[in-house]
Structures are given as C-alpha cells and as structure tokens.
C-alpha cells in the first residue's frame, strides 16, 4: 500500500512528508513550521538550518505540552464542578424529602 505524501517547502528545502489529517492541513502545518524557522533564523546571529529546525520542533512540542496540561486542568476542574453540583443536588433532594421513584 502506498502512503499518501505531499511535497512541502520548509527552510528552503523541498521535502516529501506524510499527509497529516488531509493535504490542506499538511500544507498549513508545513507553512507554520517554515514561518517558525524563519522567526528563529531572524533572531539568530548564526546560520544553522538543522539547529533552527530542532529549535522550532522543540517550541512546538512545548506548545503541545502546555495545551495538554491546560486540557488536563480544565478536565479536572470540570469533574470537580460536577462533583460539587452532584453534592448540592443530593443535599437539595434530602432537604426537600425527594426520593428516587
């Protein structure tokens, strides 16, 4: 089976990469990576495309880790809120003598 791949241009090099989700998403991701490498390149006094690519990859990994932590925190908060709501409902049911039927 032939894996669907796309040619993209990143940091002045054309490479063939696997399709991530769909072709449009893959091209958008490649563009974001290229833009991030260009930002790093502009801020640097040296020329080292491989180091720039690794730095860009690490910055995306850090963003992913932050997003995962945020999602975990939000999930924990949602469960805590649901637990408090459940306890409040139980208290109201007891207070007003409402029983399961």
Asked if residue 71 is part of any domain, the answer here is yes
pLDDT tens digits, residue range 81-98? 999 999 999 999 999 999
Q: Looking at the domain assignment, is residue 101 inside a domain?
A: no
Q: What percent of the chain has pLDDT over 90?
A: 90
- C-beta neighbour count of 57 within 10 angstroms: 13
The answer to whether position 19 is within a domain reads yes
Residue 38 C-beta-side C-alpha neighbours within 13 Å: 11
**Does residue 49 lie within any of the structural domains?**
yes
- Asked if residue 100 is part of any domain, the answer here is no
Does residue 35 fall inside a structural domain? yes
Tell me how many domains the chain contains: 1
Q: Is 56 exposed, middle or buried (0-12, 13-18, 19+ CB in 10 A)?
A: buried
CB neighbour list of residue 70: distance below 8 Å, 6 or more residues apart: none
Determine the pLDDT at residue 47.
Answer: 86
The pLDDT, as a whole number, for residue 1 is 45
List pLDDT tens digits, range 46-61: 889 899 999 999 999 9
Assess if residue 20 is contained within a domain.
yes
Contact (CB, 8 A) for 11 and 52: yes
pLDDT digits (tens, 9 = 90+) for 12-48: 999 999 999 999 999 999 999 999 999 999 999 988 9
Q: Could you give the CA distance from residue 1 to residue 100 in angstroms, rounded to a whole number? A: 57
Residue 21's domain comprises 5-95
Neighbours of 86 (CB within 10 A): 10
Please tell me whether residue 14 adopts helix, strand or coil conformation. Answer: strand
């Amino acid at each position: 089976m032939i894996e669907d791949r796309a040619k993209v241009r990143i940091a002045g090099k054309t490479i063939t990469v696997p399709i991530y989700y769909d072709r449009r998403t893959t091209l958008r991701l490649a563009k974001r990576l290229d833009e991030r490498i260009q930002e790093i390149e502009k801020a640097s006094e040296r020329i080292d495309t491989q180091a720039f690519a690794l730095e860009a990859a690490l910055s995306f990994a850090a963003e992913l880790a932050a997003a995962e932590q945020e999602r975990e925190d939000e999930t924990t908060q949602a469960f805590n809120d649901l637990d408090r709501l459940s306890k409040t409902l139980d208290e109201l049911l007891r207070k007003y003598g409402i029983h399961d039927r």
